[in-house]
Amino acid sequence: MALISIPPDITFIVLAVVTIIGSIIALQAKELIYGAVALAVSFIGIAGFFVFLDAPYLAMLQIAIYVGAIVVLILFTIMLVRREVMDELTDTPEHGEGTAGLWLAGLLAVAIAGVAALAGPDLPTQPKPADLRVSDLGPVLAIQYPIPLIILALLMSAALLGALVLAKLER
């Protein structure tokens, strides 16, 4: 972490603001394309958190898969769906749905944050200094948890084939 000479608190706050504002804009932006770009910014913020948590491999994966693959896939889908359809689809909530959603989401978030704050004194405030390397991940992946990795590979080929078949589906 010697790479970053800025105080960690400030880095954390900046990352938190970027991530949260990014995800709010992703859901609230009028144009879906801008929303997708804001989503990419939010994902990059999460990647920053991963770097901050001594997980550079996860940060790399996050940027490569989320920003590089998922956001690009979403952008392609937005371009494939016709413009008029998007324009007539207003995302503004009606009949008090917005209030209900805000209450639900707010209560849930406040409940979780409240429990975390109440348990705060018992939770660790200072991470133990660790020398975690990317090479530590290999043995855990391949020796400790090999079965999930194999299932993941099968699931991935099934999902890819499924997506291909779905996309080619005739009317």
Q: Which of residues 132-171 bind another protein (CB under 8 A)?
A: 132, 136-137, 140-141, 144-145, 148-149, 152, 155-156, 159-160, 162-164, 166-167, 169, 171
Question: Using CB under 8 A, which of 20, 41, 44, 154 touches another protein?
Answer: 20
Least distance between another protein and beta carbon 87 (Å) = 11
Binding mask 50-89 for another protein (x = CB under 8 A): x-xxxx-xx--xx--xx--xx--xx-xxx-xxx--xx--x
Q: Residues in contact with another protein, total (CB under 8 A)?
A: 90
Least distance between another protein and beta carbon 2 (Å) = 14
Residue 4 near another protein by CB under 8 A: no
Tell me if 67 sits within 8 A of 44, measured CB to CB: yes
In the three-class reduction of DSSP (H, G, I as helix; E, B as strand; rest coil), residue 41 is classed as helix
From 62, 58, 60, select the one nearest 40 (Cα to Cα).
Answer: 62
Radius of gyration in angstroms for the set of CA atoms belonging to the chain, rounded to a whole number: 21
Q: What angle do CA 82, 84, 88 make, to 5 degrees?
A: 125
Question: Using CB under 8 A, which of 3, 6, 123, 147 touches another protein?
Answer: 123
Residue 24 near another protein by CB under 8 A: yes
Among all chains, which residue has been given the structure tokens 């970053």? 4
Contacts by 136-145, CB closer than 8 A, 24 or more apart: 137/57
